[in-house]
Amino acid sequence: MKAGTMEGLIGAGVNMKLMDTPMRVYKEARRKGDLGAMERAMGYATEFQDTAYEYKEKAEKELRKEMQENREEQQREREEALAERREAAKETQKENAEKLVDKAAENREETNVTTEHTKAPSADSLVISEEGHKLLQENRPSPDMEAPAIEAPAIPSNTDTKSEVKFYSSAGTTVETPPVGKNVSVNV
């Protein structure tokens, strides 16, 4: 709590306590019936009450101001902490990158050392023997040769003609159908 807030709260409390004295005087003057004393006592009580409310408003104003300052301070602290964490993360990242570079360099050195000591194997090769050359010459077709003619199998001739369609009755006998389009009967 800051000084302005404390001053407002203390001032409000003190003025409320000070208001008790004029109120006692007012009650006593009312019992006696002294109107002048009652009016003076109420005037003092009203002044103390007004002063107490002024201090109360001052305390509220200072308290809002203090809370705003606290929020700003907390925001600054959060931003500073965030900046520190980012900086630490950057440093850690740099250290990790340096470690990786060192490790890669070591691996390259190890690879270079091992390749110097080991002889590279010769490449695989295929050698065709004299017998293989002879077989290739014998089985290779000559460029003058024509491709053999391939004949298609013979298709039976009965599949080329249309056969008549036959209808069967429920008894299994063939039923002749009248030709379509020749017999037309119209009844009017």
pLDDT digits (tens, 9 = 90+) for 110-155: 777 655 555 555 667 777 888 888 887 887 766 666 666 667 666 6
Q: What is the pLDDT of residues 48-58, one digit of tens each?
A: 999 999 999 99
Q: pTM (2 decimals)? A: 0.43
* pLDDT average, residue stretch 86-109: 91
The full DSSP string for 103-165 is HHHHHHHHHHHHHHHSPPPPPP-----HHHHHHHHHHSPPTTPPPPP-PPPPPPGGGTSPPPP
- Structural domain includes residue 170: no
74 domain-assigned: yes
Report if residue 154 sits inside a domain.
no
Q: Is the CB of residue 85 less than 8 Å from the CB of residue 35?
A: no
The number of distinct structural domains making up the chain is 1
Q: Which two tokens stand for residue 72?
A: 């700003």
What integer pLDDT is reported at residue 169 of this predicted model? 82
Whether pLDDT at 82 is above 60: yes
Q: Domain for residue 138, yes or no? A: no
User: Domain for residue 139, yes or no?
Assistant: no
- pLDDT digits 0-9 by tens, 6-60: 888 899 999 999 899 999 999 999 999 999 999 999 999 999 999 999 999 999 9
Q: Quote the pLDDT of residue 143.
A: 66
CA distance 107 to 98: 14
- Cβ of 12: how many Cβ atoms within 10 Å? 20
Spatial CA neighbour of 27 closest among 38, 39, 15, 19:
38
Q: Domain for residue 182, yes or no?
A: no
Q: Tell whether 185 is covered by a domain.
A: no
Length of the chain: 188
CB atoms within 10 A of CB 29: 18
Residue 54 carries which side chain, given as an amino acid letter?
E
- Whether 113 is covered by a domain: the verdict is yes
98 lies in which domain range?
3-117
